[in-house]
Amino acid sequence: MLRNKVSISYKSKQETIISPATTEVQVKLLAIQGSRRMTRVNITVDNTSPLIAYLPWGAWIDGNSSQDKDAPKYSDGGTFTGTSKIGASAKITFRGTGIWIFGAMRCNHGLYNVSVDGGPVATGSGFADNERFQVPLFSAQNLDFRTHDIIVTNSPLTSQEPFVDIDFLVIETETFTANAAIVQDTDAAFKYTPADAWATSKLDNATSFLHSSGHITRQAGATVSFGFMGDKVEVYGTTGPDNGPYQVQLDNGPVMVFNATREAFHGGVLLYQTSGLDAGPHVLRLENLPSASNPTSLLAIDHAIINSLTNSEGQQEESSPCSCLDPPPASSPFPYPPAENAPFEGHPKYHYPTEQPA
Ligand SMILES: [Ca+2]
């Protein structure tokens, strides 16, 4: 149980590095040898991302303003995923050194358990008489830089406070460079196989894609291979009722399976992220994996963001044509200082919100 009573104030959200005004770029970089300095950067991930697996299916609902008048108070136009089922869980998979899980504290919200990488369980409370939105429900910093699994389990004590919800995540990860660049789905770096299994025109929800450009397949086993040079990559697409499972493999690494099925459609969703790679070249492969119950579920590719390497003078090598984004925001001071969180007893790396002051 929570024992500390500390008042917390947080900035609500980190700026995203995606800019709709950013033009399509094609980045070709050479591998660069030599030592580099890691920089910590934050990635904001909405509740709609398949990086969060909500289990069991049907226990979690997509919040919306027709069900909840306070829905607009959640991030990204009022998106959140909530449950009132005891034992329902959300498994978050990410590669990085820290994470903040944001949700709401409301009068019908109760206790939830959180475990990191199968470790000890911490218990937090989402209850608040004075409702607050976009607040951190849990955070963990100074983790080893690797892939982590965090499981949030709804554990209410009473039927009057059955809910927990997730609004968005902030992932802290590391990169050698701040040169983030968008690569559109139409770039030659994306190879779609078989080509005739992928559609690019008359897409449903076309305007939800960056510059209304996307690739969609409904064929089982259809793949897209994205070749890139760089130490950090993110791939964006869609989630929704027509989307389904897909698998991801970087180079010859382990295969990871995600599920993009959601109650409602969402665009600009993070489908995969990793960082801390060597200079490359790398190939990231995504494959559509429809289930037997929905054999024509789709996989949609919107764009990728890569962090490309620079030489010792800070100049990109062999980049033509290239139009890079502004560097990510300065990583220090971090926007969510751990000193303002209450440490979980015996686990100084993990933090969670406290009950409101009496
Ligand atoms: Ca949200």
Q: How far apart are CA 296 and CA 183, in angstroms?
A: 27
In the chain, what are the domains?
Answer: 43-173+330-352 (2.60.120.260), 180-307 (2.60.120.260)
Name the token pair of 129.
């008489």
- Give the distance (Å) from ligand 1 centre to CA of residue 48: 7
In terms of Cβ atoms closer than 10 Å to its own Cβ (0-12, 13-18, 19+), residue 194 is: exposed
- Kindly state the percentage of the chain with pLDDT values over 90: 62
Q: How far apart are CA 40 and CA 113, in angstroms?
A: 28
**Residue 310 confidence class, pLDDT cut points 50, 70, 90:** low
Question: What is the tens place of the pLDDT at every residue in 206-262?
Answer: 899 999 999 999 999 999 999 999 999 999 999 999 999 999 999 999 999 999 999
Name the token pair of 123.
């218990």
pLDDT at 350: 54
pLDDT at 308: 79
Question: What is the tens place of the pLDDT at every residue in 199-209?
Answer: 998 888 889 99
**Residue 345 confidence class, pLDDT cut points 50, 70, 90:** very low
Please give the full DSSP string across 138-154, using - where no structure is assigned: EEE-S--SEEEEEEEEE
Check whether 163 has a pLDDT greater than 70: yes
- Give the distance (Å) from ligand 1 centre to CA of residue 135: 12
- Kindly state the percentage of the chain with pLDDT values over 70: 76
Name the token pair of 219.
């064929």
Check whether 343 has a pLDDT greater than 70: no
- Give the distance (Å) from ligand 1 centre to CA of residue 167: 4
Confidence (pTM): 0.78
- Give the distance (Å) from ligand 1 centre to CA of residue 49: 10
- Give the distance (Å) from ligand 1 centre to CA of residue 78: 6
SS (H, E, C) 44-63: EEECCCCCEEEECCCCEEEC
Check whether 305 has a pLDDT greater than 90: yes
Q: How far apart are CA 58 and CA 243, in angstroms?
A: 15
pLDDT at 60: 95
Check whether 170 has a pLDDT greater than 50: yes
**Is there a contact between 305 and 236 (Cβ–Cβ < 8 Å)?**
yes
- Give the distance (Å) from ligand 1 centre to CA of residue 84: 18
pLDDT at 157: 85
- Give the distance (Å) from ligand 1 centre to CA of residue 115: 22
- Give the distance (Å) from ligand 1 centre to CA of residue 280: 33
Q: How far apart are CA 313 and CA 131, in angstroms?
A: 50
Give me the chain's average pLDDT, please: 79
- Give the distance (Å) from ligand 1 centre to CA of residue 103: 8
Q: How far apart are CA 358 and CA 355, in angstroms?
A: 8
Task: For residue 26, count other CB atoms closer than 10 A to its CB.
Answer: 16
- Give the distance (Å) from ligand 1 centre to CA of residue 324: 27
Place of tokens 């039927």: 159
Please list all protein residues whose beta carbon sits less than 5 angstroms from ligand 1, which is an ion: 46-47, 75-76, 79, 167-168
Q: How far apart are CA 216 and CA 205, in angstroms?
A: 11
